[in-house]
Each structure stands twice: as C-alpha cells, then as structure tokens.
Amino acid sequence: MTRPTDDRSPTPLDAHTELVTAGRDTQAQKGFVNPPVVRGSTVLYPTADDLHAHRGEFQYGRHGTPTTRALQQALMALEGPLCAGVGLAPSGLGAISTALLAVLKAGDHLLVIDSVYRPTRNFCDGMLKRYGVETTYFDPLAGAGIDRLLRPDTRAVLVEAPGSQSFEMPDIPAIAAVAHARGALVIDDNTWATPLYHRSLDQGVDISIQAATKYLGGHSDIMFGTISANARAWPQVSEAIRLLGICTGPDDVFLALRGIRTLAVRLAHHQRAALDMANWFATRPEVQRVLYPALASDPGHAIWKRDFTGATGLFSIVLKPAPQSAVDKFLDTLTLFGMGYSWGGFESLVIPFDCSSYRTATTWNPGGPTLRFHIGLENLDDLKADLERGFDAFNAAG
C-alpha cells in the first residue's frame, strides 16, 4: 500500500513508513521527534495589517494548532492520495453526527445500512428525524440492489464495513457506483479496519469516518473521532466543522498521534491473535458459528479478501442455544476478558449483544446467544485457558 511521492522522499512510501514519518517536522519541533502539545486559544498578530488579512499560519485555537496539524497530515497520508482533508472530532459519534449534518438538510433522504453502530441509528432516528431528514435502513448484503431504495431526494448512503456486532460485509464499490450514479454521497464508518487495512476513499467512498477512540488511540485512554473526505465532500465537511465549532482537546490529539505511530505493529498482532482465536472458537462444541470476515468460512470472506488488506481483533460468536443464566455464568467466570462497551485497546473484552429489537430492514435471528470479543495483546494460551474455564461454567449451568 503506497501513496504518491511527497517532498520528503524521492520514492513512494509504504503506509507503514507513513505512519511513522508523516506529520513530523523536527526543525519546527526544535529537534524533538514528537510534536509538542500546544494548548492555546488566542493567536497574536504582529501588525494591524496581518490582523485584517487574517495572515498567519494559525488564526485561533479552535481552527487548529501545530499539534492538530501534525495529526491531520499523518492521517491524510494514511488515507491515501484521494483524501482532500481530515477533520477531528471529540468522539467517534461526534465524527458521525458532524459528517451527516454536513451533507444533509431538511427534506433530504438518507439510506443507512441495517447493521450500523447503534448510536448512529439513534442519531438518525432522533435528531435527524426532528430536523426533517428521513432515514431508510437497508439490508447489509443488498449491494447494488440499494438502487431500488434510492430516491430523487436521497443525499447520502451510510455504510459500515463490517457491521461492528453482526459482521455482515457490504459490497462498498457496488453501493458507491449506484449511489454516485444517482447523485448521492457515500459515507463509511471505517473504524474496524482503519485506513491501514481498508482505504475506503479508494473504493468510491466520499467520507470515511473513524472512532479513533479505538485502534488509532490504541490504549483505551482517549475519546476521539476523525472525518476524512475526498475533494467532492471536503468543502461541506470543513464548513460544518467550522460552523458547529467542532474541536478536540490537545492532549487527546497528542495521544492519537502517538497511537498511530505503532498502529501497524499493533494491528498485525490483533489480526494474528484474532484469527487464531476465531479458529479456536470454531472448534468448540458450545459455538454454533463465528462471525469474522477473515475466516474462509464466513459469508463475507470474498468481499473482505477483495477490498481489505487485513483484519483486526474484533469478531462475534453465536453460541448454541442456552439459557441466559448459563451465558452470564460464562461471562462472570472470565478473568482476562473485561466486560466493556468499546474495543481497539490493548486489552481483551467481551460483551453479549442482541440486534433483534432494533434492526428494521432485516431479521436478526442467529439461533443462539451472541457474544462480541475483542482480542487484545495478551498471551493466547492464557486467553484460551480463561475461556475454557468459562465454558466449563457455561456447561455446568446449562
């Protein structure tokens, strides 16, 4: 994965190299390898003429600092040559809501994938509905079939690849082709793969969103979102960020920048560990099915293999039918898997979930209780031993 030659190198740089070098200016940083944390609001102008002309590298803290610029430059390098700009938001949901408000207005129609992150659905069914935007949900496997749902007033199509609970894999290039033919923008929640493993802008997406709280930060200690856009969509996104006053705290910006320097090595470990654990789960008699596109047996594997260069540490499993008390006993027995509503950090996590009450375009009926796992950086034998104890408790309670 490379991008065009820039001023720092006579040859194109691999994405792994870009993660380490992009956004670094050691001369401006007085020789330090990391940019400093700049905390500031007011920027002083040397002359009245400079003030009138808004002449200066920075104008006001909300619009950016040397720290935010370094992160934006690094993210643009990671997103690839089609990225015209990157906006920073205080959370992943903040990035999603800002992007939607940037491109929609009263009377517009929005198409949203039925496997979308639930807080995104809540925003669409709540605030967007109150503001006069109508949302229709579509089957994650519809592909070009969403054409029948597109209307003259459809302004955008929102996808998530894969869905972060049920892991259906949409055909983004097919969706983008029909959406663009009808004049609609395509927005992708790319948090699961990150641009390191999925450059969605290269596949026809106009706006790529990430909850940088997850893998970009990588240490479960920041709340952060990013909005990357191509030349068609960036003017709308940048205007929305300016008008809404969206900005991020300098310490979180610094931590996100620090996190992406090690993104490649962390994701490589998460991928190896998750694939190993997914295959292990597939051998367990208590498990009906593993939901992970990187597995050859997964229905979305062909699309994943075509469109992605890697997989990350998040997947789900479907247990064989069992009472809730047995599932709870399994969860309560685990000591190395924390129960928490996030992922992408160094630690392993597990949560139960059930999409059946809120999916509207498709029926969620997996055939048994479902659990979502994030595989962290722990030793795999230790994780498997922890899960075996959990399954012993599960079987005894069932």
Query: Is the bond preceding 299 in cis, omega lying within 30 degrees of 0?
Result: no
pLDDT band at residue 10 using 50, 70 and 90 as cut-offs: low
Which ranges constitute the DSSP H helices of the chain?
A: 15-21, 48-52, 66-79, 92-103, 118-123, 129-130, 172-181, 194-197, 234-244, 250-261, 263-282, 301-307, 324-333, 380-397
Residues 287 and 205 in one domain: no
Percent of the chain beyond pLDDT 90? Answer: 84
Residue 3's pLDDT band, with cuts at 50, 70 and 90, is: very low
Do 357 and 242 share a domain, yes or no? no
Q: Which of 6, 45, 62, 328 is catalytic?
A: 62
Number of domains forming the structure of the chain: 2
Query: Average pLDDT for residues 56-65, to the nearest whole number?
Result: 84
Q: What is the pLDDT of residues 355-382, one digit of tens each?
A: 999 999 999 999 999 999 999 999 999 9
Residues 268 and 251 both lie in one domain: no
Burial 333-343 (b: 16+ CB within 10 A, else e): bbebbbeeebb
Show which of 197, 226, 259 is a domain's final residue: 259
The predicted structure's pLDDT at residue 7: 45
Say if residue 352 is in the same domain as residue 283: yes
Tell me which DSSP letter residue 297 carries.
T
pLDDT in tens, 157-213: 999 999 989 999 999 999 999 999 999 999 999 999 999 999 999 999 999 999 999
Choose the weakest-confidence range: 65-79, 135-149, 166-180, 268-282.
65-79
Position 9 in a domain: no
In the residue annotation, 117 being an active-site residue is answered as yes
Same domain, residue pair 242 and 378: no
155 is catalytic: no
7 an active-site residue? Answer: no
**DSSP code per residue over 329-351:** HHHHH-SSSB--S--SSSS-EEE
pLDDT of 2 over the 70 cut: no
Alpha-carbon gap, residue 250 to 25, rounded angstroms = 18
CATH number of the domain at 298, please.
3.90.1150.10
Is residue 2 in a domain?
Answer: no
Catalytic annotation, pick one of 171, 188, 189, 202: 189
* Residue 200 contacts residue 161 (beta carbons within 8 Å): yes
- Which one of 238, 259, 280 terminates a domain? 259
Q: Is residue 359 part of a domain?
A: yes
In a domain, 289, yes or no: yes
Check whether residue 185 and residue 47 sit in a common domain: yes
For position 4, what pLDDT does the model report? 34
List the structure tokens of 220: 């479960």
The answer to the question of residue 369 being in a domain is: yes
- pLDDT for 57 equals 84
φ, ψ for residue 93 (rounded to 5)?
Answer: -65, -35
Residues 383 and 294 in one domain: yes
Q: Which of 3, 24, 69, 117 is catalytic?
A: 117
Average pLDDT of the segment spanning 104-111: 98
373 shares its domain with 350: yes
Asked if pLDDT for residue 320 goes beyond 60, the answer is: yes
pLDDT tens-place string over residues 280-307:
999 999 999 999 999 999 999 999 999 9
Residue 185: CA count within 13 A, CB half-sphere: 24
Same-domain status, 277 and 144: no
81 and 39, same structural domain? Answer: yes
CA separation for the pair 290, 96 (Å, rounded): 28
Q: Is 137 a catalytic residue?
A: no
* pLDDT confidence band for 54 (50 / 70 / 90): confident
Do 241 and 269 have their domain in common? no
CATH code, 153: 3.40.640.10
Range of the domain at 278: 263-397
pLDDT at 26: 67
Domain boundary among 207, 232, 259: 259
